[in-house]
Amino acid sequence: MHASRKFEDLVLLVQILRKECPWDRKQTHKSIKDNLVEEVYEALEALENDDFEEFKKELGDLLLHVVFHSVMASENSQFSIEDVIETLMEKLIRRHPHVFGEQVADDEKKVSENWELIKKKEGKKSTLDGLPKSIPALIRAQRMQEKAGNMGFDWPEWKEAWGKVEEETQEFKETLSSGSTKEQAQEFGDLLFSMVNLGRFFDLNAEDSLRLTNIKFEKRFRYIEQQAEKENRSLNNLSLEEMDRHWEAAKKAL
């Protein structure tokens, strides 16, 4: 067999692997579920780095998981890859009546409103249904706020959202001196939630923003480690003042 550009050839390849490769044959939906999550984050990292050659490869890995799970399901007469494709297409057509029907949606906000209303008609009990509790809390907070906002539950403007940040900051500060650990955690969560909300008014994605800060911190901290190594010293032997000096140098150098 050789590589091709045909989707059906990929499905056939996976079917062959399931029959002839001991490792592939042994796998179940649950045995590779963590790998699926890992592949998503690898794709995001490639995208964050603007490495589109790597991004192409990671999308291929994601596609492999879609096909692999579908082939396993087909073996158990649960569903096929064709069922997956048809179900997806039906949903996309149904949720885009402004494209495939008579409904009018002149802007992105109207499209989002219609999307949520259509989901409710499909049997969703809440606008917030469909958000897995297992996804990172920061992402879930942003998505919940976006969904609620699409239904009109939102501050009119960013200044009011900023006022909420100030309110939550004060409440968190008060618990630091007199509150229990549980109270501090709750108020800290409220503060983070309000910050996510504020960022939305400026089209800032909380997860992406924090990821950028993480990258920046890592680069600067590694710089401190490198400077300590050049001085033939271990990092924990540097004083806080020395580390601060290297940190400021890193801010200028990186």
* 74 and 21 housed in the same domain: yes
Residues 179 and 242 in one domain: no
CB atoms within 10 A of CB 147: 20
Percent helix, strand, coil in the chain (nearest 5)? 75, 0, 25
Do 233 and 178 sit in the same domain of this protein? Answer: no
Decide if 119 contacts 130 (C-beta within 8 A): yes
Q: Say whether both 13 and 85 belong to one domain.
A: yes
Task: Give the single-character DSSP code of 136.
Answer: -
State the maximum Cα–Cα separation within the chain, in Å, rounded to a whole number.
72
The per-residue DSSP string of 22-78 comes to HHHHH--TTTTHHHHHHHHHHHHHHHHTT-HHHHHHHHHHHHHHHHHHHHHHHHTTS
**Among candidate residues 92, 116, 142, the one where a domain is terminated:** 92
Among 42, 67, 92, the domain boundary falls at 92
| Residue range of the domain that includes 176 | 155-204
Q: Which of 18, 130, 141 is nearest to 70 (CA)?
A: 18
19 in any annotated domain: yes
Looking at residue 108, its pLDDT comes to 82
Contacts of residue 116, defined as CB under 8 A and 6 or more positions apart, other chains included, come to 127, 147, 150, 151
Kindly state whether residues 170 and 231 are assigned to the same domain: no
* pLDDT tens sequence for the chain (254 residues): 899 999 999 999 999 999 999 999 999 999 999 899 899 999 988 998 899 999 999 999 999 999 999 999 999 999 999 999 999 999 999 989 988 988 888 788 788 878 778 877 887 788 888 888 888 899 999 999 998 998 889 999 999 999 999 999 999 999 998 889 999 999 999 999 999 999 999 999 999 899 889 999 999 999 999 999 999 999 888 999 999 999 999 999 88
Nearest to 32 by CA among 86, 40, 131: 40
28 and 82 fall within a common domain? yes
Measure the CA–CA gap between 251 and 254, rounded to whole angstroms. Answer: 6
CATH number of the domain that residue 53 is part of: 1.10.287.1080
Q: Give yes or no: residues 69 and 16 share one domain.
A: yes
Same domain? 11 vs 76:
yes
> Are 163 and 236 found together in one domain?
no
Count of domains forming the chain: 3
Based on the fold, state whether residues 233 and 175 are members of the same structural domain: no
- pTM: predicted TM-score of the whole model, two decimal places: 0.68
Closest CA to 48 of 225, 215, 195: 215
Q: What is the pLDDT of residue 178?
A: 86
- The rounded distance, in Å, linking the Cα atoms of 162 and 170 is 13
Instruction: Tell which residue, 49, 86, 104, has the closest CA to residue 215.
Output: 49
38 inside domain: yes
Count of all residues that appear for the chain in the document: 254
Whether residue 227 sits in one domain with residue 180: no
Task: Please give the structure tokens belonging to residue 242.
Answer: 């020395």
Say which amino acid occupies 10: L
- Both tokens of 221, joined, read 């901290």
Q: Which residues contact 249 (CB under 8 A, 6 or more apart)?
A: 223, 227
Residue 131 counted as domain residue: no
Residue type, 36: L
Q: What is the CA radius of gyration of the chain?
A: 24
For every residue of 121-133, DSSP letters joined together read HTT-SSTTTT--T
Domain-terminating residue out of 92, 113, 137: 92
116 falls within a domain: no
